[in-house]
């Protein structure tokens, strides 16, 4: 009942007091992007950074290169990945009405991991495939391998999603697929040379800095299309949150809705995993942060909210991972979990209503 | 009732290990002890006696992780650092056939020499066996997949020698059947990865070789004497080693007067992170001895550090040479790993070299195999890269220049 009231009150809320929250978040995004651009392993004065950005001459050549070809694509990747994972996580949490759901709950990243593991370590079985695999499709080999893996799982999920009318079956499918793939990956690791195992491990740490401008030409449009699907779904997601029966009484085609959600969420998370490796935590944490800041479960608000917050969180995590001032760098997953877990814990404990938005 | 039962079960579980050690001890190989004086206490008095006066005493000059001591009628090999962070050393008493005294050193594994058969669980032991003409003593390897030596690969594929794997799931049954005089392996100190505990439990003669921890190339090559000692051929290994050291020092001397050193960086980026070897590592020492300036010689220690891509751009974009580039066989392999590698000066000028000129179909790289025994050849390869005019007639052996 409470939620129905909440939903009904939303239209006014959007126009009203929450607008400034969006403005604040956008400003915050600009700040962390600015910080990420100016602080890195290499110390570059702010004046020189501005010169590069405005296309002026007279900056040390390697610095200009670092800004143009390293920091800018890295920030763009972080923003896109943060948005995609958060949006995907929100959809999964709503569809399964489970606060613990994340973008990878359907086994999308297990598929991607298996694809990459086969590309890197399958060489031990098939005889020197690794470099050819990397070389395939003009340096997109690993991305291709991950996409194929994620795509196969996605196809399987959509197929099952069409047949079953119970989301729990999908959850179990994802879980089982995760177990099966991790067993296969373990088997590959067991029979592989240490340096290949290390290459796979590094991939599994996740990173935004491995994505180049050329790869962004592919990354960006795919994310955009999948996000585009999401923008047609807020009404349906709101309906699902109240239960499938309720959604049906609202006149929603629940089966079609579920397929669209699966499609959008799988493309979003699968693409990020393909380009950046499995990035944990953002997808599960950001929707919670959004619900708490905006104190709503209305997806008309939540979708833009997770998009902004996701971008802020990802760029901030990357900023910390670069260990500004030192020449070393930490894996992004370490940062998201290490800093993110206590933060979300604090938010959840602070919130009085607990997981009310899930009807639990 | 339930509580009492639980208590009893817990008690039994707690007591079991104690019983185990008691019952297992007499069978363990360490327990074969002979009464002889402790070496550390009697060092001052014991300079003189060796059984065979004609036998040369071989000294260990470069390796830091093992010692060879000649005792009264037997030899003591001590691996002081059997794995990284090890607190205790491994001691092996090499007793010749017909040795009739007894040794009562606690925790000493006794091996009867000369051995006739050996199981090698690392490809780095193979070149040393070959050097002293004992490759045919090989009865099993861990896996032939990552071995470069063609002969050994042929033996393995034709079933003349066994492949037994490694780690806790090593094929113990096969080893018992083979009954080798010696099994040589490396160890990590972590039971879930190590091979030697299960072998020792089965009463098999295991020796731990920690050559890979040795960072000085000459020190690593000196482990040839360690292996040879079990065949009683350390004098032969010593002579070969001395000759190699002379060649190494002569090559090193070629670049000693160079003041304008070539700038070089190593490895490849991976997902935006670049692993750079510490300045005390094997690779860094070779670069230094080749007269090059390794751009990350400020990194401490022997392990690799994760360096940010942009830090590498800042320091190495204009560097002249780029070596040891992982899996890459060509420049296009590098751009496949990261297209931004093409913007480095070394790439654009084609001065990228990798140590994988000799690789088997499955990926066994000879640089990591026979290169361990022949650091002088590795060094000359590097000198030829940086200062071709100094390398004379030397032809590339382990290294190759990457083409398109």
pTM of structure = 0.80
Considering only CB atoms, B310 lies closest to which of A40, A195, A202, namely: A40
pLDDT-wise least confident of A355-359, B61-65, B259-263, B376-380: A355-359
Q: Clarify whether residues B144 and B197 are in a common domain.
A: yes
- Residue B55's pLDDT is 59
Q: Clarify whether residues B314 and B275 are in a common domain.
A: yes
- Residue A139's pLDDT is 54
- How many Å lie between the alpha carbon of B179 and the closest alpha carbon of chain A? 25
- Residue A77's pLDDT is 96
Tell me the pLDDT band of B54, cut-offs 50, 70 and 90.
very low
Interface test with B, best of A327, A328, A330, A334 (most B CBs within 10 A): A327
- Strand duo B90-96 + B75-79: pairing: antiparallel
Render pLDDT for B188-234 as a digit per residue (tens, 0 to 9).
888 888 899 999 999 999 999 999 999 999 999 999 999 999 999 99
Report the distance separating Cα A290 and Cα A299, nearest Å. Answer: 10
Q: Print the SS3 string covering chain A.
A: CHHHHHHHHHHHHHHCCCHHHHHHHHHHHHHHHHHHHHCCCCCCCHHHHHHHHCCCCCCCHHHHHHHHHHHHHHHHHHHHHHHHHHHHHHHHHHHCCCCCCCCCCCCHHHHHHHHHHHHHHCHHHHCCCHHHHHHHHHHCHHHHHHHHHHHHHHHHHHHHHHHCCCHHHHHHHHHHHHHHHHHHHHHHHHCCCHHHHHHHHHHHHCCCCCCCHHHHHHHHHHHHHHHHHHCCCHHHHHHHHCCHHHHHHCCCCHHHHHHHHHHHHHHHHHHHHHHHCCCCCHHHHHHHHHHHHHCCCCHHHHHHHHHHHHHHHHHHHHHHHCCCCCCECCCHHHHHHHHHHHHHHHHHHHCCCCCHHHCC
Closest among A138, A71, A89, A126 to A319, alpha carbons compared: A71
Closest among B144, B137, B90, B92 to B121, alpha carbons compared: B144
Would an 8 Å CB–CB cutoff place A199 in contact with chain B? yes
- How many Å lie between the alpha carbon of B332 and the closest alpha carbon of chain A? 8
Q: Clarify whether residues B62 and B211 are in a common domain.
A: yes
Would an 8 Å CB–CB cutoff place A324 in contact with chain B? no
Which ranges of chain A have pLDDT less than 70? Answer: 1-17, 123-140, 351-360
Would an 8 Å CB–CB cutoff place A202 in contact with chain B? yes
Report the distance separating Cα A210 and Cα B105, nearest Å. Answer: 56
Q: Clarify whether residues B280 and B229 are in a common domain.
A: no
Asked if residue B55 belongs to a domain, the reply is yes
Q: Clarify whether residues B205 and B269 are in a common domain.
A: no
* List of domains in chain A: 2-358 (1.10.3470.10)
Contact A322, A75 (CB under 8 A): no
Considering only CB atoms, B308 lies closest to which of A193, A277, A327, namely: A327
A128 and B362 within 8 Å at the Cβ level: the answer is yes
- Residue B30's pLDDT is 38
The residue out of B227, B245, B263 marking a domain boundary is B245
Would an 8 Å CB–CB cutoff place A165 in contact with chain B? no
- Residue B280's pLDDT is 94
Q: What is the CATH number of the domain that holds B230?
A: 3.40.50.1980
CA B302, B308, B312: angle at the middle one, nearest 5? 85
- Residue B41's pLDDT is 40
Contact B375, B248 (CB under 8 A): yes
Would an 8 Å CB–CB cutoff place A201 in contact with chain B? no
Asked if residue B15 belongs to a domain, the reply is no
Asked if residue B12 belongs to a domain, the reply is no
- Residue A5's pLDDT is 45
Q: Clarify whether residues B184 and B89 are in a common domain.
A: yes
Report the distance separating Cα A69 and Cα B313, nearest Å. Answer: 10
Q: Clarify whether residues B275 and B376 are in a common domain.
A: yes
CA distances from A17 to A21, A23, A239, B74 (A): 8, 11, 24, 89
- Residue A10's pLDDT is 47
Domain holding B69, by residue range, is: 26-245
- Residue B210's pLDDT is 95
Which tops the pLDDT comparison, B387 or A133?
Answer: B387
Identify the bridge partners of residue B208 per DSSP, sorted by sequence position. B185
**CB proximity list for B203: less than 8 A, separation 6 or greater:** B27, B28, B29
Closest among B374, B337, B340, B339 to B355, alpha carbons compared: B374
A41 and B308 within 8 Å at the Cβ level: the answer is yes
- How many Å lie between the alpha carbon of A290 and the closest alpha carbon of chain B? 30
Tell me the pLDDT band of B6, cut-offs 50, 70 and 90.
low
Asked if residue B14 belongs to a domain, the reply is no
Mean pLDDT of B172-196: 91
Interface test with B, best of A41, A196, A205 (most B CBs within 10 A): A41
The separation between CA B197 and the C-alpha centre of its own chain, rounded to angstroms, equals: 19
Quickly list DSSP for B61-113. -S-SSEEEEE-SSSEEEEES-SSTT-SS-EEEEEEETT--S----TTEEEEEE
Q: Clarify whether residues B145 and B226 are in a common domain.
A: yes
A128 and B361 within 8 Å at the Cβ level: the answer is yes
Asked if residue B94 belongs to a domain, the reply is yes
Report the distance separating Cα A116 and Cα A141, nearest Å. Answer: 9
Question: In a 10 Å sphere around its CB, with 0-12 CB exposed, 13-18 middle and 19+ buried, how is residue A318 labelled?
Answer: buried
Asked if residue B388 belongs to a domain, the reply is yes
Asked if residue B1 belongs to a domain, the reply is no
Indicate whether B186 pLDDT > 70: yes
- Residue B390's pLDDT is 93
Tokens 């990590």 — which residue?
B188
Average pLDDT, chain B: 86
- How many Å lie between the alpha carbon of B338 and the closest alpha carbon of chain A? 7
Which tops the pLDDT comparison, B288 or A123?
Answer: B288
B307 and A327 within 8 Å at the Cβ level: the answer is yes
B343 and A65 within 8 Å at the Cβ level: the answer is yes
Closest among B184, B179, B189, B217 to B77, alpha carbons compared: B184
Indicate whether B24 pLDDT > 60: no
Mean pLDDT of B307-326: 94
Percent share of chain B, pLDDT over 70: 86
Q: Clarify whether residues B236 and B167 are in a common domain.
A: yes
- Residue A140's pLDDT is 67
Q: Clarify whether residues B348 and B375 are in a common domain.
A: yes
Asked if residue B4 belongs to a domain, the reply is no
The residue out of B197, B221, B245 marking a domain boundary is B245
Interface test with A, best of B333, B336, B338 (most A CBs within 10 A): B336
- Residue B33's pLDDT is 36
The residue out of B245, B279, B294 marking a domain boundary is B245
Determine the residue of chain A that is closest to B193 in CA distance. A190
Domain count, chain B: 2
Q: Using an 8 Å CB-CB cutoff, list chain B residues near A146.
A: none
Q: Clarify whether residues B221 and B344 are in a common domain.
A: no
Q: Clarify whether residues B149 and B171 are in a common domain.
A: yes
- How many Å lie between the alpha carbon of A343 and the closest alpha carbon of chain B? 27
Determine the residue of chain B that is closest to A323 in CA distance. B308
Render pLDDT for B102-152 as a digit per residue (tens, 0 to 9).
777 778 899 999 999 999 999 999 999 999 999 999 999 998 988 999 999
């Amino acid at each position: 009942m409470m939620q129905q009231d909440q939903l009904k009150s939303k239209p006014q809320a959007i126009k009203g007091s929450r607008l400034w929250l969006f403005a604040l978040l956008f400003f915050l995004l600009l700040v962390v992007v600015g910080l990420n651009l100016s602080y890195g392993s290499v110390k570059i004065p702010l004046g020189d950074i501005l010169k590069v950005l405005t296309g002026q001459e007279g900056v040390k050549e390697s610095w200009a290169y670092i800004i143009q070809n390293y920091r800018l694509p890295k920030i763009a990747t972080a923003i896109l990945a943060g948005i995609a994972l958060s949006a995907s996580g929100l959809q999964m949490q709503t569809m399964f009405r489970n606060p613990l759901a994340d973008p990878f709950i359907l086994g999308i990243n297990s598929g991607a991991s298996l694809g990459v593991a086969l590309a890197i370590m399958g060489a031990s079985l098939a005889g020197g495939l690794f470099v050819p695999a990397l070389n395939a499709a003009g340096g997109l080999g690993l991305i291709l391998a991950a996409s194929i893996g994620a795509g196969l799982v996605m196809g399987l999920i959509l197929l099952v999603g069409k047949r079953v009318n119970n989301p729990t079956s999908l959850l179990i499918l994802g879980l089982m697929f995760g177990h099966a793939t991790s067993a296969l990956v373990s088997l590959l690791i067991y029979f592989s040379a240490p340096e290949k195992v290390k290459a796979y491990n590094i991939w599994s740490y996740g990173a935004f800095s491995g994505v180049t401008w050329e790869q962004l030409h592919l990354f960006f449009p795919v994310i955009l299309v999948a996000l585009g699907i999401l923008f047609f779904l807020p009404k349906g997601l709101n309906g699902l949150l109240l239960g499938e029966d309720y959604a049906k009484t609202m006149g929603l085609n629940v089966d079609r809705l579920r397929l669209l959600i699966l499609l959008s969420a799988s493309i979003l998370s699968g693409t990020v995993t393909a380009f950046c490796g499995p990035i944990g935590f953002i997808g599960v944490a950001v929707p919670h942060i959004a619900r708490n800041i905006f104190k709503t479960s209305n997806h008309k608000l939540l979708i833009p909210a997770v998009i902004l917050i996701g971008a802020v969180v990802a760029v901030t995590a990357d900023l910390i991972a670069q260990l500004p001032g030192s020449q070393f760098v930490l894996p992004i997953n370490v940062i998201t979990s290490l800093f993110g877990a206590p933060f979300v814990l604090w938010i959840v404990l602070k919130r009085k209503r607990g997981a009310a938005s899930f009807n639990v | 009732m339930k509580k009492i039962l639980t208590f009893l079960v817990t008690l039994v579980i707690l007591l079991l290990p104690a019983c185990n050690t008691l019952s297992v001890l007499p069978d363990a190989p360490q327990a074969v002890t002979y009464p002889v004086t402790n070496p550390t206490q009697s060092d001052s008095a014991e300079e003189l006696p060796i059984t065979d006066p004609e036998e040369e005493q071989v000294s260990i000059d470069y390796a830091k992780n093992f010692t060879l001591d000649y005792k009264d009628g037997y030899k003591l090999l001590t691996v002081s650092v059997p794995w990284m962070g090890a607190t205790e050393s491994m001691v092996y008493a090499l007793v010749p056939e017909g040795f009739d005294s007894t040794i009562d050193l606690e925790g000493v594994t006794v091996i009867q020499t000369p051995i006739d058969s050996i199981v090698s669980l690392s490809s780095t032991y193979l070149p040393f066996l070959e050097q002293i003409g004992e490759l045919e003593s090989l009865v099993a390897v861990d896996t032939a997949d990552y071995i470069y030596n063609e002969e050994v690969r042929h033996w393995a594929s034709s079933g003349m020698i066994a492949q037994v794997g490694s780690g806790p799931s090593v094929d113990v049954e096969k080893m018992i059947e083979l009954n080798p005089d010696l099994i040589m392996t490396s160890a990590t100190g972590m039971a879930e990865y190590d091979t030697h505990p299960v072998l020792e439990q089965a009463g098999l003669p295991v020796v731990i070789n920690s050559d890979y921890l040795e960072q000085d190339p000459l020190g690593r090559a000196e482990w040839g004497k360690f292996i040879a000692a079990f065949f009683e051929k350390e004098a032969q290994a010593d002579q070969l080693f001395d000759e190699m050291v002379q060649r190494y020092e002569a090559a090193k001397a070629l670049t000693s007067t160079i003041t304008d050193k070539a700038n070089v960086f190593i490895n490849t980026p991976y997902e935006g992170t670049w692993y750079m070897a510490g300045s005390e590592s094997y690779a860094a020492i070779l670069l230094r001895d080749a007269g090059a300036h390794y751009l990350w010689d400020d990194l401490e220690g022997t392990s690799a550090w994760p360096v940010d891509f942009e830090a590498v751009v800042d320091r190495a974009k204009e560097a002249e040479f780029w070596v040891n580039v992982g899996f890459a066989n060509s420049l296009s392999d590098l751009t496949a790993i990261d297209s931004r590698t093409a913007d480095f000066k070394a790439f654009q000028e084609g001065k990228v070299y990798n140590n994988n000129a000799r690789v088997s179909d499955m990926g066994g790289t000879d640089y990591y195999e026979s290169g361990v025994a022949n650091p002088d050849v590795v060094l000359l390869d590097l000198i030829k890269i940086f200062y071709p005019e100094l390398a004379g007639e030397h032809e590339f052996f382990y290294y190759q220049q990457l083409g398109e």
